[in-house]
Chain A
Amino acid sequence: QVQLQESGPGLVKPSDTLSLTCAVSGYSISSSNWWGWIRQPPGKGLEWIGYIYYSGSTYYNPSLKSRVTMSVDTSKNQFSLKLSSVTAVDTAVYYCARRGKGGSNFDYWGQGTLVTVSS
């Protein structure tokens, strides 16, 4: 059974870099899937942050591209997100998810982790 689990600090100071990791179990991250990050500010809708492939290829949301870096560690079967220069508007629940093979949907999601940006 495919499982994804986000981890990282729950509190980040303004102007710092938010760093999260998504550990994948029950499935090889090196299979032909893209892996993504999506966030959801409290009480609001979903916003896609970006995708990464096991080879390191990426697609980022154009509105966040200048601040986002994603990476993958196939030896640990996990992938990561860094979002720089954060402000209060970056406060959200951050989800990692698997993109369905051959499709553009997200078929497996992590439980999500709340990251609060505050001094």
Chain B
Amino acid sequence: SYVLTQPPSVSVAPGQTARITCGGNNIGSKSVHWYQQKPGQAPVLVVYDDSDRPSGIPERFSGSNSGNTATLTISRVEAGDEADYYCQVWDSSSDHPDVVFGGGTKLTVL
């Protein structure tokens, strides 16, 4: 089955840029989606199809995807961005199509 690998944690000072990676075999050929989850809340979609933003999501959130790595970039990080972030793909490469989530990355705002 397809595996997505995320760093367990990323720390950044307010106002700086946070980059959260999601690694997978030839992930550049897939559409990657990113979710933000704050404690006790449901996940919220922040980037879909590699780099598109749902309405209401600040332009500070952006995404890219190439080769074996997708990246969620959060510019001008704010305290309110502190959360867990998950990447997700739809893997249709096998006989058993599967939704795959990365293990999640905890973003800490210092």
8 A Cβ contacts from A93-119 to B: 95, 100, 103-107, 109-112
Please give, as numbers and ranges, the residues of chain B lying within 8 Å of A61 by CB-CB distance.
98-99
Please give, as numbers and ranges, the residues of chain A lying within 8 Å of B90 by CB-CB distance.
104
Residues of B participating in the A interface, judged by any CB pair closer than 8 Å? 1, 31, 33, 35, 41-45, 48-49, 54, 86, 88-90, 96-104
Q: Does A26 contact B (CB under 8 A)?
A: no
Residues of A participating in the B interface, judged by any CB pair closer than 8 Å? 36, 38, 45-48, 51, 59, 61-62, 95, 100, 103-107, 109-112
Measured in the bound complex, the distance between the Cα atoms of B35 and A104 in whole Å is 13
Measured in the bound complex, the distance between the Cα atoms of B96 and A61 in whole Å is 8
Please give, as numbers and ranges, the residues of chain B lying within 8 Å of A110 by CB-CB distance.
42
Known: A62-B1, A103-B31, A105-B33. A46 touches B101 (CB 8 A): yes
In the complex, what's the smallest C-beta–C-beta distance from B11 to chain A, in angstroms?
Answer: 19
Known: A45-B104, A61-B98. A107 touches B48 (CB 8 A): yes
A-B contact count (CB 8 A): 60
- Verify B43–A106 contact, CB threshold 8 A: yes
For B42, the closest partner residue in chain A by CB is A109
Please give, as numbers and ranges, the residues of chain A lying within 8 Å of B41 by CB-CB distance.
111
- Verify A109–B96 contact, CB threshold 8 A: no
- Verify A36–B99 contact, CB threshold 8 A: yes
Q: CB within 8 A of B48: which of A103, A109, A111?
A: A103
In the complex, what's the smallest C-beta–C-beta distance from A11 to chain B, in angstroms?
Answer: 20
Known: A45-B104, A95-B42. A103 touches B96 (CB 8 A): no
Please give, as numbers and ranges, the residues of chain B lying within 8 Å of A95 by CB-CB distance.
42-43
Measured in the bound complex, the distance between the Cα atoms of B42 and A45 in whole Å is 12
Please give, as numbers and ranges, the residues of chain B lying within 8 Å of A46 by CB-CB distance.
35, 43, 86, 88, 101, 104
